[in-house]
Structure 1
Amino acid sequence: MRTPVQPKKPKYIPFGYKLMLTYLVFVIIPVIAIGFFSHSMYQDSIRQQTRSNIQGTLLQIRDNIEYKMSDVERVSSMLYQDYYLNLQLRIKDEGWESYERLVNIILPKFDIAINATGVNIAMYLFLKNESFPEMYTSENPVLLERDYNLYQFNRIKDKPWYKNFPEEKYGGTKVWKSVELDSEFNRISLLRRLVDNVSPLRLKETGFMRLSVSIDELFQSVDYRKIGEGSILVVKDEHGKVMYQSGILPNDFAYDTIKDTEYLTIKENMKGPSWELVAYVPMTIMERDSAKVRMFLILLCLICLIVFTIAGMFISRYFSIRVTKIVSVLNAFREGDLHKRMGYKGKDEFSQIALALNEMGHNIDQLIEQVYVTQLEKRELELESLQAQINPHFLYNTLSSISRLAKFGEIDKLHRMVLDLAKFYRLSLNEGRTVIPVRSELEQAQAYINIQTTKFGEAVSIYFDIDPDIIKYETIKLILQPFIENACEHAWFGDSIHIRIVGELEGNNIVFKIIDDGIGMSPLLIKQIFDPVEGLNTGYGIRNVNSRIQLHFGSEYGVTIGSRPGIGSTVKIVIPAQLPNRKKRT
């Protein structure tokens, strides 16, 4: 019989790996997680502290800028709020009186104002009173620092920056802006009117003042080194345009494309003009302090990982060796090796499992041996029973034919039939063996055919179409004769019948076909033949052959019938191609 196909061993993760993975999940991963979160919290703390420190530095820088700006605005306020000065600027005299008022009253006030601050201011005054002459030292604001020029007002009345100057609100209308030569000399000016402030409700412009200050001096405190190397400090105007910058820009640096992952951006708004002080701090500055802590945490986690991994390997190995032995014994049992045993010293659970498996293997082995012997005996008895059942049936039919020949005195036919019957039974007995060569089965079929041709003469035509390659194989006996007999006895359609016996190889199987041109069978009759209940009195010999084949070779082999009434029938017998003396598969 065929060896049953062994199922594929399922893939699984060994117990030692599972134990190790569990150990890693509940020990190593928490350690790594603690290290990671500790580092993240420390880094956030460092970042927050750095932000606070930089924010404090920016506040100091902003205060310094606002102080210088307020100092310049204070100078402008000295002139703006001087009621007596604005009164003198409004008086229009000619000749000596105008000059004396200018020299003795107005110019001293301008001198006092320009020297009332530590900021280097270049002051430009545009007076509407045309009785005062123009006085100027230099048009270059750098050369004019701590000095002033007097101009007639008509010099600026058509300038765009003057035309766009806001409407006057007493004490509050002033603008910081780069005008005239300021951009050329990197300066910025405080622009403010001079007004007759007799009544704040009726302000009359008496002049205009422009106080020009060097941007480098105004933003002298804006130094990136106060924050750290690689940082950038910028001052932006109300339109977002950079007025001043401290620090070197990277080649690919753009203020509008800065990423939070690369730079920490901190902003401070200034009082007065809508300027903004912005600090761009590289993340590397904050990471310098956290790098040491990070390396320490990484080193600590690595040490823990190595120590815990080694410990886990020893622990998992200790248990996995025992589990592997148990699994190997179970696999051996599953593959049929019930003699494998194992032993553990000690009184733990593994030793109890080993003892139980050893006893189970011994008991199963004995039971299998008993069942195997019983099944073999049962199978042999069934085969012998089936064989014993088919021989009397054939013998009865043949003896009836011999009786008829004797009755009618056909001695020659009687003699040939007795010889063929003797040959048939000599081959059938075959020293008690069930399995015979295919050649012997064909000879036995030929002996039976000879008996039938003797009986029916030329009315029966039987032909062999045998592939020579199947002769070397073996089969169980008496699988062809019952079907030839069935055709000769029941398939007649008219005065003659033709039967063809085919034998050929199909893959690893031998296929026999018994083809006749007889009366044929209906589907219902074929169903009854293979049904031991419905076909109790029908097709006994066919079921007998099918049962013997399946009992000996397996359920995938056996007999099938194809037939159509009035056309004929084809019986197909399939058995495995087995060589003689080949080791039988169980």
Structure 2
Amino acid sequence: MQIQVKTKKPKYIPFGYKLMLTYLVFVIIPVIAIGFFSHNMYQNSMREQTRSNIQGTLLQTRDNIEYKMSDVERVSSMLYEDYFLNLQLRIIDEGWDRYERMTKIILPKFDIAINATGVNIAMYLFLHNENFNEVYTGSLTNENPVLLERDYNLYHIKRIEEKSWYKNFPEEVYGGTKVWESVESDSDFNRISLLRRLVDNIRPVSLKETGFMRLSVSIEELFQSVDYRKIGEGSILAIRDEHGEVIHQSGIMPNDFANDTIHDKQYMMITESMRGTPWELVAYVPMTIMERDSAKVRIFIILLCILCLIVFTIAGMFISRYFSIRVTKIVSVLNAFREGDLHKRMGYKGKDEFSQIALALNEMGHNIDHLIEQVYVTQIEKRELELESLQAQINPHFLYNTLSSISRLAKFGEIDKLHRMVLDLAKFYRLSLNEGRTVIPVRSELEQAEAYINIQTTKFGDAVSIYFDIDPEIIKYDTIKLILQPFIENACEHAWFGDSIHIRIVGELEGNNIIFKIIDDGIGMSPLLIKQIFDPVEGLNTGYGIRNVNSRIQLHFGPQYGVTIGSRPGIGSTVRIVIPAQLPDRKVKTYE
């Protein structure tokens, strides 16, 4: 009876742990610490600096908006504070006096006011004194403020007495009651109006309403300076009213922008109040802009890491000398194995992983040397059997289709066509057999394709138009057989789009490769169908012949060669076949 004695494993620090601890102490821990503290230190500084810069941009934008708004308000003030104008609006008379006062005093003042600014204003005036005739262009109910820019319409006040925006207008405070609001058709034309009364300002001031002003301005023109690009790509700049509704916006808000969590995590919000209105200017700045500004921090960390790496590399060189002698022995044996010398062995005395590696390498070299010959021979035999199997699958598929066509010709008594088809079929198989060889000249492959084309021409007549565009330089090279016919057959059988089809066969030399293209103007294929051809779904047998050709090419020449398909439904398809350019006197190297 044999007793097995368990030997106690020697205690030592594994080689992997030694390397890990060395790098952990000398590289990883300092770099993480430096990166963490440096990032926290500079990130807050960069954020404050970015906020300060954007705040300055908002102030400048606000000033530009307020300037344009004050320009519009100045026009209203010219009429509001005109003592003489308000006096004339109160006078009631008839005949020539009314006409003369209207044309020589009142209307000229309106003309001067509307042209006293660079802003394109459409002015609507509503007067209590119905003694004056209405003067307007277009219709109040179907107004178009854009066509009225730099002009005005004069109406009686009764036209707006029932309008909610007029009825709810705030109580008058001399010189201070004015409201910006989108009324009537402003929303349809992306505009906003300054609403203001005309009052009796004759001393003593009674504040009695003598008329009402509405100055309509394009929002795009009024808020022209609101441009998110001043802040940065991806930012949003908006004008919000007292209810939080967006009046104008520059930049695209994401679909999930309403989520407050998105605001906090992805955007920094900066606001600026607008003087004279309850509006506010709001900027949403993506955190990516601040990340861009923190590039200086990253550069600092990288430079510091490089410095640490240099210092620690010098220290590590002395430590690594302890392991270099042992590792060198292993590397020398592995290099010998890589170069094909499987007879080299190594000896190492010790009680750690190196002794186990030495023993394993010696045994592995012996085993691989013994097995490599068996595997090599087996793989060659397997490749040859696979090629023969794939080749054998092509001919029955084609033969079945051709015999079906011959049967139809015989049934309808078309003897001449039947005779030509049989002769072309015999020629096709004579070229296909080719004394059992898989590799044939390109010339023979083209002749075989031509024989198949003759069969299809006999079958379909003038409905099929096929022609060759072959570079004579490729004739001298070799190819594996039956790589063109399956694609011509596929186009003739499945690509019809109408009552005819045109097929072009191209062969050209491109560097050290031969490129064949089969181009048709047929129905085309969808991306899903092309995917299923090369990666078929279980239960579907789509593209069997195409996969067959692709597999034979890759088995014979390697995975860098094969078949690709480009197609668009309704336009046609292009099959591209790539094989290496190999001369007949060169030994074909099969991919292993």
With the length of structure 2 as denominator, give the TM-score of the two structures: 0.48
Larger radius of gyration: 1
